[in-house]
Structure 1
């Protein structure tokens, strides 16, 4: 499977770019899965639901299934967060996996950048960033795309991964 990342600081436009890329690339006939890193505790379950009760009773894994979808939740409890390479093993084979976050891992990435955030440009120090998508001109050596140039960015990523 091919993997490509979208990184950037908070409010840089990563999630919007990911969403547009999934729409664009799947519209071209490729299968795409996504993996997003959350920097905070999150819960896809809700108090009072049976699955929530199972988890809080101590279940290591809870699998929910319906006619429309299934989801597997695994409780880490006091264990370390899994590395990206281990998480990728849980995904079914597809043409492309787009990863939001995991900026310290060594897969190829595009950086989303918005001037208003006033953060440093990660691409200046990170050779795994192959291009930058920004809403302003930047002094970078990598190719730069307008943040909303979804077609151009998709063309670049698909070319990079050989699809």
Structure 2
């Protein structure tokens, strides 16, 4: 599987770009999965419900399954899993887009907007291969129009060797 990251500071537009990229790239016939890193505890379950009770009782993994989707919850009861461990659990696809994990060792595109008031990550991370922005920047990496999803998708697909 090819892996490519979308990073940036809070409120820079990462999730909106991810959503548009998934639609654009799947629309071109590729299969895409996503991984989203969060800094808070995540729980899809509801206290008192059956699967919650299974987990509290000590189940390592619990699956919520229905006619249209399933969710696998794994209790790791320890340190946060590293990105490679998370990726290893995914079914094979053409491309995995990763939102977050900005300090991990994979190629990334940075989403940057001046209005966030944050400095560029690219200046300190050689794995940031381009910056998607709505500002005019002079950088040693390609500067892409944040609002041109097709161009950003083209760049990523070329980077991972999936360009048609």
Pairwise TM-score range, normalised by the shorter structure: over 0.9
Instruction: Name the SS of the counterpart of 1:157 in structure 2.
Output: helix
- State the TM-score, normalizing by the size of structure 2: 0.95
Question: How many pairs are equivalent?
Answer: 162
Following superposition, the deviation at residue 52 of structure 1 comes to: 1.5
| Structure 2 CA distance for aligned equivalents of residues 39 and 114 of structure 1 | 21
| Structure 2 CA distance for aligned equivalents of residues 85 and 97 of structure 1 | 12
1:49 matched residue in structure 2? 49
1:110 matched residue in structure 2? 109
Instruction: Name the SS of the counterpart of 1:131 in structure 2.
Output: strand
Which residues of structure 2 form unaligned runs of 5+?
none
Following superposition, the deviation at residue 57 of structure 1 comes to: 2.5
Following superposition, the deviation at residue 69 of structure 1 comes to: 1.0
| Structure 2 CA distance for aligned equivalents of residues 124 and 137 of structure 1 | 16
- State the TM-score, normalizing by the size of structure 1: 0.95
**Is 1:15 aligned to residue 15 of structure 2?**
yes
Deviates more, 1:58-67 or 1:18-27: 58-67
Instruction: Name the SS of the counterpart of 1:20 in structure 2.
Output: helix
RMSD of aligned alpha carbons: 1.0
Instruction: Name the SS of the counterpart of 2:5 in structure 1.
Output: strand
Instruction: Report 1:1-163 matches (<5 A).
Output: 1-77=1-77, 79-163=78-162
Following superposition, the deviation at residue 138 of structure 1 comes to: 2.2
Write out the 4+ residue segments of structure 1 that deviate beyond 4 Å after TM superposition: none
